[in-house]
Each structure stands twice: as C-alpha cells, then as structure tokens.
Structure 1
Amino acid sequence: MTSMQKWVGRAMSLKTVIVLVDASPESMERARQAVSICQRFGAHLIGVFVSPPGWARVPAESFAIGSAAIQAVIQRWKALQNDATDDAFRAFETSIRNESVSFEFRAVLENEISDFLYLHCLHADLVIAGVRQFNALPSFAPAIEAQFASSGTPMLLIPEDWKGGDIGARVMLGWNASREARRAIIAAMPFFNTAQAMHVVVVDAAKNSRLGEEPGSDVALLLSRHGIDVTLNNLVSHGRAIANVLLEFAAQNALDLIVIGAYSHSMTRERLFGGVTKTLLQRSSVPLLAVF
C-alpha cells in the first residue's frame, strides 16, 4: 500500500526564507531586511545561528589532562555554546519583535554546518547572509560552498555597511547569456516583478558571440512578457574589470540589488565564484543575489 499527499501551490514566489544570524548589530539589520522581504512576499522566516565550537573560543583548554579536567572543559564549552546561541536568539527576536511575520530559530554547530546547510537550503527559496559573514566561512569553506552549489538555492548577500533601505526597488541583472545568468533570472523573478526600476546590463557584447546581433534584447523581451518594464544597457569596459563596470553603473543609478549567476567550474573558492563574482563580493556596497 502506498500513501499519497497533495499540496496545492501558487505561482513562483518567496515563501520560505533563511537568514544567517548572530548577536552583532549587523546581523540585527540583516534580520530586519529579511523581515521586510518576508512581509513583501508573505514568506516564513527561519533564523539560523552557526555556533563556533567551544574549543575555538578557548584553544588552550584542549590540552586538559585527566577525566575530571576534561569533563569540566566539555561542560564549559557547552555553556559557551549555549550562551552564544541564547545571545543570537535574543538579538534575532529583538529584530523581529512586533513585526507581522511567522518565524522560527534554529542553531547548528560550525562543524556540522555542511550537511545542515544542504538539507535546509533544499527546502528554502532564499538564503540571506552578510557578505563579510560569508567571506569568513571556516577552513572547510569549499565543502560549504559545494552545498550551496549542489542545492541550487539562491543567496542574497548583504554588505555589513548597507544603509540603502529596503532591498529590491531598483534592480540590475548582469547578463552574459550564460546558463548561470539564466538560472539567476528564475531565482530573482519575485524581485523583478516587484521592482520599481529594472535594468539589464551587458558588458563588452562584441566579445560574446552568444549575445547575438542585438545583445540583451532577447532577455529584455523575455522579461517584458512577464510584465516587467526593462531598461537595456550595453556598456563597454575599455579594459576595466567587468565587476568594476557593474559597480559603477549600480552607483550611478542608485541601485539596491545586483543579480548575477555565479560560476561553478570548480569547488575551490576562486573558481566557484568566478572572477567577476569574487570581485563583487570583495568590493560591492550593494546587495548581491547570486545563484551558484
């Protein structure tokens, strides 16, 4: 005998959002942004705290000798982890207090994060993290990045010093006719549909035969058929880094979201992100929506 369950869904939107949190002021602002996005799309919010293991806080205690001493150290480590989790939960709860959004809080140890992220990302529409937080992933970061790549869940990466207000009013898609950029369109469609201004930006079209005779016009037409008012911009780098061209355009047009497709040729940090994406992560003062 088999069992069968049926779920009735609606058109693609954001309905489950994960935000990586801690007890810092930057995290509280990131949680506020996550709340704003969840309210916009009617989504459920999951705050996730990644707790460093206790020994990472007091490395010298790793050399404890004797059963009693080892047990005492373990108890102190557990207490440190519990205190850190409690601090993160209080900060998260403070950030969303009095807000009309459904939410929950989950905690995971840093050394368990790889499997945790894969499992939870599979069941979320978006993961929100800080740029500095993401760049500071632990030493086994390539394995973590592989989880994002294999899950296919889009990530919204917010600079810690972002002061531009709510995200997604003025949006840019960096278009190079790649598979990754096409996947980014699908992931970002909820933001495209609610944006007040939407730019498609092509850089150095003459060097990319996949863009066709009218670079960017086909993807602009695709988006317009979804009811999105699109402005097409063809730019020339004149030898500058493409990432810098995109950032200059974002600044000149007061954009609050850059949408890109990240490359996944290798599971090393440099190749996973690709040159343009890595530079954007290092230098962007504008939030990035990336699909791996």
Structure 2
Amino acid sequence: MRNLLVHLDSSAPTKSRLELAVALATRMGSRLVGIFAQTQRSVTSGVVAAWPPAEYVAARKAAEEAFTAAAAGLADCVFMDINRGEESDILVQAVDLARHFDLVICGQPVSENHTMPGDLIERIVVDSGRPVLVVPHAGHFPDTGRKPMFTWNDSREAARAFVDGIRITVKDAEAVVVSVSKPGDPEIGYRKASLQFAVAHLKAHGIKGRADQALASDIGLMDALLNEAADFGADLLVLGAFGGQGYPRFSRGSGSRFMLKHMTLPVLLSH
C-alpha cells in the first residue's frame, strides 16, 4: 500500500493512530496524507455565521504541528483541512477523498468524542470501496501486521478483507485464520476445508499461517473473535464488515458495530 490517509482531530487518541500511520508509511515506503476534520459550530454574530471560530483554528494548528513533527522522516507527507465543521460535510468529504487512497486509518469511535461523526467509519467502509484500519482509543500500537488474525466466514466481505489484510502483513508474520461458528451451524464441515484454502492463500504470499475453527457456545461471535485474538496475541484483526445483505437494516452490520465498540486491538475493516 503506497498511499495512506489518516484522520486527525483534537482528541487525545489521535496521537496513537498518527504514530501507527507513520510506522506503516515508513515500513511500506508510502505517501501519508493527514486530514483534519472535526465537528465544530460556527460562531454567530447577529445573522452572520463566522468561520472558522478561534477554537477550531487552534485545534487545526495543533493537529498540523503534530502531523508535521510525526511525519518529518517521510519522503512524501501532506496535511489537509477538509471541512467546515458540519457532520454532513465531513462525511461527504471523507468518503470522496478516501476513494483516492489504498488505506484509511481512523480512530475507534467513542461516545465522549464529540469531534468525530459517530458513523464516519461505517460510511467510509461501506461507501468508499477502501479498507479502514481502526485504532483503539486505549492502548499503544506502534506497529501492526506482524501477528495478524484473519477472520473467515466464506462471505464476499471476508474475502475482500483477507486480501486487504495481506497487503499490510509483513512477510515474516505469524498469522492465523479463524472461523467462529455457533453449535449446529450446517456450514461447519464445509468451512473446515475452506479454511485450508485460506491458509494456502497466505502461503502463496509468503506468509506462514494456520487455521483455527472455534465454537461460540455461550457468547456472541464477536466476543469469541476478540477472545481468540487475545489468546493468539494478535496485533491486527482482519474482518469483513457490514455484510448480511438480505437481513433487516437494524441487524445488518450489527456485528461490525459491536466490534467497533468493544475492540481491543487494531481492526482492519473491508466491505
């Protein structure tokens, strides 16, 4: 991946995802573009709305200085301010811009962070056609892709994520391909063979991997995946996201939203 995009705002976790973005760009020899985008109300004087307000200017300046310092060692880095503070504007601009990059790096959405539209990640994943690497708001992740866990359920989204995950996995990585099913799932037998094809796919790219088929008897599938990732010591979870076409809208993508809320390690989402 030679062209990376990282989302910046004034929240504290920005520092962690910027560090990871720079590490990936350094390792892969990539161009890195930092986009500053956060919600902010205009200051109104009478009937005239003034933009940008001083608070936004200060936050933008701090983000640009942090980006410039962190990316100083890169051959090609660019800082951009893409919005005028409205959520709708941020979403449209971010999705449109994401289509011109190989990978988008965002922070985990948290309810306390009112500078980031709550559905920013979902919109980019579903509408841009690009993978999104989501960095947890808690923890330190100086690099990723050295011990990846690929999730597999034979879906189109899983296949897309699998290939995207390979692109940020180092060649000497130790990988695992995991399938989690509920007891009685009629696909369990077929998936055992399918997992071996997935491992062979990794091997064709020079990545050592193994298959792991697990059952989630008393917990949800996403909780089971997080447990598997913890047991493996994964530094990356690769997940096909926002699938389930044919299901009602309220349940479509519910697993992906659960993962975004409860993630404990960087997660690569592809649709």
> TM-score, normalization: structure 2?
0.85
2:256 corresponds to 1:289 = no
Residue of structure 1 in register with 2:226 after alignment = 247
Structure 1 counterpart of 2:266, one-letter code: P
Q: Which has the higher helix share?
A: 1
1:35 to 16, 19, 22: 22
Matching residue of 1:228: 207
Q: Indicate the larger mover: 78-87 or 141-150.
A: 141-150
Structure 2 residues not aligned, in runs of 5+:
none
- Superposed displacement of residue 139, structure 1: 9.7
Question: 244, 248, 254: which is aligned to 1:274?
Answer: 254
| Aligned CA distance change for structure 1 residues 118 and 208 (closer, same or farther; 3 Å) | farther
- 1:255 and 1:34 mapped to 2: Cα distance? 18
Question: What is the aligned counterpart of 1:105 among 58, 79, 82?
Answer: 79
**Any stretches of 5+ residues in structure 1 without a counterpart?**
1-13
State the AA in 2 paired with 1:103: C
The DSSP-based 3-state class of the residue aligned with 1:192 is coil
- Counterpart selection for 1:125 from 89, 102, 107: 102
Determine the structure 1 residue equivalent to 2:143.
166
Q: Deviations over 1:130-176 (max 9, x none)?
A: 10369967897558734531221100000011224311111000100
Mark the structure with the bigger radius of gyration.
1
User: Structure 1's 207 and 135: CA in aligned 2 closer, same or farther, altered over 3 A?
Assistant: farther
Q: Deviations over 1:108-150 (max 9, x none)?
A: 2242222212221111001101103699678975587345312
Conservation of the 8 A alpha-carbon contact between 1:23 and 1:92: no
Residue 207 of structure 1 aligns to a residue in which SS? coil
**1:38 and 1:101 in contact (8 A); partners too:** no
Q: Is 1:86 matched up with 2:64?
A: no
For residues 75-224 of structure 1, what are the structure 2 equivalents within 5 Å?
75=50, 77-97=52-72, 99-107=73-81, 108-111=83-86, 112-132=89-109, 145-194=122-171, 196-204=173-181, 207-209=185-187, 211-212=190-191, 214-224=193-203
What are the superposed Cα offsets for residues 47-88 of structure 1, whole Å, 9 maximum, x if unpaired? 011132333xx6xx5xx5xxxx344xx347544433332122
After superposition, the CA RMSD in angstroms is 3.0
Quick check: 1:15–1:44 contact (8 Å CA) kept in 2?
yes
Distance 1:110 1:271 in 2: 30
Q: Cα gap change, 1:272/1:106 in structure 2, threshold over 3 Å: closer, same or farther?
A: farther
Separation (CA, whole Å) in 1 of partners of 2:209 and 2:242: 25
**Cα distance in 1 for residues equivalent to 2:2 and 2:103:** 9
Describe the shift of the 1:177–1:195 C-alpha distance in structure 2 as closer, same or farther (beyond 3 A): farther
Q: Does the CA contact (< 8 Å) of 1:202 and 1:234 recur in 2?
A: yes
8 Å contact kept, 2:146–2:170: no
1:12-31 equivalences under 5 Å are 14-31=1-18
Distance in 1 between residues matched to 2:233 and 2:192, nearest whole Å: 29
Alpha-carbon spacing, 1:19–1:215, altered in 2? closer, same or farther (3 Å): same
Contact 2:25 2:74 (C-alpha < 8 Å) held by counterparts:
no
Give % identity.
24
